[in-house]
Amino acid sequence: MISFLILIGIVICFSAILALALNFQWGLGGMVNFGLTGFYALGAYSSALLMLKAGANTFVAALGAMAIVAAVCGLVAFVTLRVTEEDYFAIVTLGVGEMLRLVALNEDWLTKGALGLTGVPRPFGAAIPPQYYQYFLLALAMTLLLATLWFLGRLARSPFGRLVRAVREDDVVAATLGKNVLWVRVRIFAIGGAIIGLAGSLHGFYYQYIDPTQFSNIVIAYAFMAVIAGGRGAHRGAILGAAIVMLLLEGSRFLKDVIPALDSDRLAAIRVIMIGAGLILLLIYRPQGFFREYRLRADFK
Amino acid sequence: MSNILRVTALHAGYGAGDILKGVDLELAAGSILTIIGPNGSGKSTLAKTLAGLLPARAGTIELDGRSLNGLGAPKRVLAGISYVPQEYNVFRNLTVLENLKIAREFMGANGKAARGRDDGLEELFPELPKHYRIAAGNLSGGQRQMLAFACALAGRPKLLILDEPSAGLSPILTREVFERVERVNRSGVSILMIEQNAIEALRISQSCVVLNGGRVRACASAREVLGMKDLNSIYLGDASNRI
Amino acid sequence: MLQTAFNGVVTGVIMALPALAVTLLFGVLKFPNFAVGAMMTVAAYLAFALNAQLGWPLAAATVAAAVAMGALCIGIDQLTFRPLRERGAITLMVASLGLGFILENVARFAYGNTARSFAIELARPFRFADVRMNHEQMITIAVSSAAMIAMWVLLTRLPMGRAMRAVADNPSLALVRGIESPRVIRWTWFLAGVLLALGGVLIGMDRALEPPMGSNYLISVFGAAILGGLGSPLGAFVGALVIGVVSELSTLVIAPNYRIGIPLLAIAVILVFRPQGLFGQPYIRR
């Protein structure tokens, strides 16, 4: 039981980091990332490949993954935001995420396709005896989560954070004040990307193997649930949301033992249905605690 | 003479505060009322609230004795109010004919859509038919204004609300617009007009209301207002309008 | 290559229906609806249930599924999107994403992950000018064309069709011209549901029925609608054909699995050079 809780705890931590990234890009920056799953996969694969193919150690691999995802996110933001509004941006991120998933599935020479990558190293894997490793990983994950939280908090209180809020509130005004709105947005999206990369690396460290099935719609559904359930104000909310979502849904694995008619496909389907319904119900019934809608256009007068 | 429109203590706004802070006004049936006032006084907000695009936060609106409170814009159209916004007052992606068809199909006092072409619009706006197949967005400003005007009349409204009908038009076109307004009025439609081009508008109006800061500041006959020297400088628009 | 182009035309006409649904929904409801893929899936499975399990001929099953889907869409809108109407495009998009997950997994729950097929008679394909065409493809072209023509008539000749275009053009003006927006919204959803059902069945005929069948087309359908111009029915048709043909032709030079890159590229190019698409009008957000 303790073991189970520790393992869940680790998963909660990196899921929370992913939720924080979404919260940052969307809640603070007003840019909703519908391709989250794809970028997460990019982070996980990058980190694993840097270790397996380039022989990097776990630390460097994680940093590398963060850099790669940040770069791709920044690029997408740069190319798209110059010319478009929030709806199109959402569609583009959806498409890019899908593209990334396809690359993971099809580029066998790089990613081993559907077979996935096995034997992903973990930090200090050799140094710590296996029976204690989970404690270490939990501590590491929690530390990284807290570090991310601290970083985002610092960022929010910094001049950049004020700039971000100004742009989000009224980008027309911000632009007339001479702020380079596009560049601010690109940076927001890129920073979010780095955090996604971090979450992806942790994913790899935890599971020690990476395959395309780990990156299905459930991931982005979890993340949205966490962010929306957590509500505004606090990145802390996203973490709480992630914890609740994870516990509820991992806990539902036990349903299989209780209801024999449910095979794993059906169980997986039910979980997604529950998350989807939960998402919609939250949106309808919990508008407070849900951050203000970002509008690029001036309000109807 | 009875009042076609009676507004009492009307409050409305968009965000935190109210823009209309208790407007009272009356419009006698069959007459033309012009509302003037500086920018930001709430004239357009008043028009939108009367039309039903903005919910009233307090107060009442009565059309021909019947309360409009709680009715959405489409139902108000059926009750007999017709509104021409200042901008974006035609469906740009639809042709002129389609614009008219929509107006005829969906508007209609007495709850029935006006049928057929017996609404006299072709006589009143003879220049329209030759543009029937042109997309409304491709018309000139003056032609669009006329189309908007025509559509607003399709349902034979009791009250027509015009928000700055002469905005952006040349003096000749402005004169034409006001001539049509007079003709329409003579056929029995009461008219409430918001105008910056106050002099021209007041010349064809019977009464005038001065709006400022969301409240009615003065209300008099048009002739009286035209004669007032001290209101001229503040409320009657730019210098070219001075008598 | 002619064969590939023909296959592209078939793919294009299949996509034209959901692309039109997307464009209608966007025009009237003002947000991109990411559940349309899963809606096609559900409708296809509905037709499957009637056809393969209850023995109905596919045509009858399709009609029934189309009407059912239309009604279902109205219901879904009442439950899911209406409460969120005032909340802005992003909220609605997220809700539509969640809805898509629900619908797709309802299908998965009911029918599992194995691919299924409709119960239709096999017929020998015929050749015309070196191009092999099978019966399903001909039916697809016929059905889709008929549906597009019917939609064109509806949108240009019928009052409700004009009302839909009016609401897409200028929602507040539509209100003061006597158009009740709930009615228009209901009709839009019904028509979208019918179009999506037809599209779903055609996909099921062309490939197979499996839970991701509709979502696989999501990006392509949006690409088609955006290329043609969001809000332009003619654009949806043309955009779908272009995306369909180019995607198929692209398989001659790049790996088939990356077909999805074509609509993505189209979206990117359109956004940079002509955001309103081929036939769209720049939508003035006020």
Tell me: the pLDDT tens digits for C142-154?
999 999 999 999 9
**Is any Cβ of chain C less than 8 angstroms from the Cβ of A94?**
yes
Query: Which partners does chain B have (≥3 C-beta pairs < 8 Å)?
Result: C
CB contact under 8 A, C267 and A91: yes
- Paired sense of beta strands B190-194 and C126-128, if any: unpaired
Say what the pTM is. 0.88
CB contact under 8 A, C271 and A298: no
CB-based contacts of A27: which residues, under 8 Å, 6+ apart? A227, A232, A238, A291
CB-based contacts of B179: which residues, under 8 Å, 6+ apart? none
pLDDT recorded at residue A256: 62
Q: Which C residues, 254 through 273, put their C-beta within 8 Å of a C-beta on chain B?
A: none
CB atoms within 10 A of CB A123: 18
Q: Which residue has the higher pLDDT, A300 or A79?
A: A79
Q: Which residue has the higher pLDDT, B237 or A181?
A: A181
Tell me: the pLDDT tens digits for C38-56?
999 999 999 999 998 898 8
pLDDT recorded at residue C158: 92
The mean predicted confidence, pLDDT, of chain B is 85
Number of structural domains, chain A?
1
Q: Is the pLDDT of residue B111 over 70?
A: no
DSSP element (H, E) containing A81: helix A58-81
Of C102, C222, C285, the CB nearest to A276: C102
Nearest residue of C to residue A224, measured between CA atoms: C94
Q: In this structure, is residue A130 part of a structural domain? A: yes
pLDDT recorded at residue C148: 92
Distance of CA A238 to the CA centre of its chain: 11
Candidates A280, A286, A288, A291: best to mutate against C (most CBs of C within 10 A) is A280
The structure tokens listed for B147 are 């189309």
Listed range (A119-123, A288-292, B21-25) with the worst mean pLDDT: A288-292
pLDDT band at C277 (very low <50, low <70, confident <90, very high): confident
pLDDT recorded at residue B229: 64
| Sheet-wide strand order for B190-194 | B81-84, B159-163, B190-194, B32-36, B207-212, B215-221
pLDDT recorded at residue A222: 84
Cα A285 to Cα B134: distance, rounded to the nearest angstrom:
46
Tell me: the pLDDT tens digits for C161-210?
999 999 999 999 999 999 999 999 999 999 999 999 999 999 999 888 99
Mean pLDDT, residues C261-265 taken together: 85
ipTM of the complex: 0.88
Q: In this structure, is residue A273 part of a structural domain? A: no
Which residues of chain C neighbour A277 with C-beta distances below 8 Å? Answer: 98, 102
Q: Is the pLDDT of residue C18 over 90?
A: yes
Q: In this structure, is residue A43 part of a structural domain? A: yes
CB contact under 8 A, B77 and C162: no
Q: In this structure, is residue A264 part of a structural domain? A: no
What whole-number percentage of chain B has pLDDT above 70?
88
Cα A69 to Cα B179: distance, rounded to the nearest angstrom:
66
pLDDT recorded at residue B107: 86
The mean predicted confidence, pLDDT, of chain A is 81
> What is the nearest CA distance from B90 to chain C, expressed in angstroms?
7
**Is any Cβ of chain B less than 8 angstroms from the Cβ of C127?**
no
